A and B are shown apart, each in its own frame.
Chain A
Amino acid sequence: MGTLTIGCFPGLVGNMTYDFALKLADAAATKGHKVNIWFSGNATGSIKSHQKHLKDYSTGEKFLTALLAKGVEICTCEACTVARGVQKTDAIEKVQWNAMHWYLAKVHKSDRVLLIGGE
């Protein structure tokens, strides 16, 4: 089994590439691969807890919580996150907070890297 690291930059609501990143991560983790997800830019807003699932909009919290339970490592860019007004006390538990070098370190150990660009 391999290691996949996904750099995810798009926002949760407004396009479906964020949703794609999480579904891809789930598929890889289900097959037994080690998966890491790095959130940067607008993707960092998705780690806010207590998201309400309205059927007209995608939601991230349920997916993120399920991925964390499967052992997927998820880390948010601390600077990008606090810039959006999200504090650790507001965040989904077990999401890691770190700086960009976390992503590069995971990339170093990865067999495959997928960067899903944002706006």
Chain B
Amino acid sequence: MGENVKLAFIVQKPQYKGETSRLGITHAISYQTVEILLEDGELVTPTLCFIGEGVLGLQKGQKAMDMYGVTSSEAHIKNALLVDLDVFICKEDLAKYGISEDSLPDAEEMGADKKLQIVPFAQIQKAIEESKHIMFF
């Protein structure tokens, strides 16, 4: 039986200020195709977490394609849910910036089973502790 390696992708920079925060999302999503480069039974299980300023720029209704000609962070978040990623948003940081939980997107209309999980930082800390490798974006 191959090893299941848990990874924590921690996004702490706001979307649209730079590209790194977006690359955190897309790198996590790429777990979906990693098996073509792994041995049978080996797995990568990422958890995508947004903390601090990383909770900025996630709201629904984004017009990035209209304004900048690029896929929005909202669309990337929906794709993450569609490929069954666990996506944690820090509850305390949302409150700090006055962002309501119902302003965040889901991907229900795309058929995703997963939803964004608004969780206390303690739960994100637990995911970090359970991960073999942690990457900050």
Contact = CB atoms under 8 A, between A and B. Distances in A.
Contacts of A119: 18-20
Q: How would you classify the secondary structure of chain B's contact residues: helix, strand, loop or mixed? A: mixed
Contact of B37 (A40, A101, A110, A117): A101
Contacts of A7: 27, 135
B23 A40 contact: yes
A82 interface: no
Report the 8 A-B pairs with minimum CB-CB distance, sorted nearest first: A100-B30, A105-B37, A115-B135, A101-B34, A113-B133, A119-B18, A104-B34, A101-B30
Interface in A33-72: 40-42
B5 A103 contact: no
Given A113-B135, A115-B137, A117-B136, A104 B18 contact: no
A27 interface: no
A105 B7 CA distance: 12
A39 to B, nearest CB: 11
Given A107-B5, A115-B136, A101 B18 contact: no
27 contacts: A7-B27, A9-B20, A40-B27, A100-B27, A100-B29, A101-B34, A103-B30, A104-B27, A104-B30, A104-B31, A104-B34, A104-B44, A105-B38, A105-B44, A107-B7, A107-B133, A108-B5, A108-B34, A110-B133, A115-B137, A117-B13, A117-B20, A117-B137, A118-B20, A119-B18, A119-B19, A119-B20
Interface of B: 3, 5, 7, 13, 18-20, 23, 26-27, 29-31, 33-34, 36-38, 42, 44, 46, 133, 135-137
Contacts of A40: 23, 27
A108 B5 CA distance: 6
Nearest to B46: A104
B20 A101 contact: no
B34 A105 contact: yes
A78 B135 CA distance: 21
B37 A41 contact: no
